[in-house]
Amino acid sequence: MTPIQANTLPEYRYGAARTMVHLRGLYLRECLEAWKQAKEAGIALPETDDPSYISLETVLAHVLKADRGYLIWICRMLELPDPQIEPPPPLDVIAAQADGYITHLIERWRKPLANVEEERFHKQEYESNWGVRYCIDAMLEHAVMHPILHRVQLQELLQEQSPS
């Protein structure tokens, strides 16, 4: 299969949640690989006022912090215990510690949603930290897509800035 084996996850009452938990871990790892390639190539980020895009390190921190935040938010909305996810590494060591931190994220995401009934994933909407309303299912889909978005951005920058 992949380095993140879906069969290492426990059984879930809602199989789609299990699949999304698996996919977001897989895509986090792929995003990190694209980030490493971009860092090695010394790509320049476009100018922006967004503080998450000051440097490659802040982009990586943004992706890792968001992944942590999604599960904390989901657990809070579903009144589940805090998943006890450590904050991302500081910017000055994020490159060296990112692999281990992603392993931590994947581990912390494994079990909290396993016993949640399917209807709780889409029955109600909640306000996100940025003011958009999501059901839990939609937030899981957002968590899957977020690292894909940043991976594609980094890959496009690599392609644009690579000597032909």
CA quadruple 77, 87, 81, 73: dihedral, nearest 10: 10
Q: Which structural domains are found in the chain, ordered by start?
A: 14-161 (1.20.120)
This prediction has a pTM of: 0.93
Per-residue pLDDT in tens (0 to 9) along the chain, 164 residues: 444 455 679 999 999 999 999 999 999 999 999 999 999 999 999 999 999 999 999 999 999 999 999 999 999 999 999 999 999 999 999 999 999 999 999 999 999 999 999 999 998 999 999 999 999 999 999 999 999 999 999 999 999 998 76
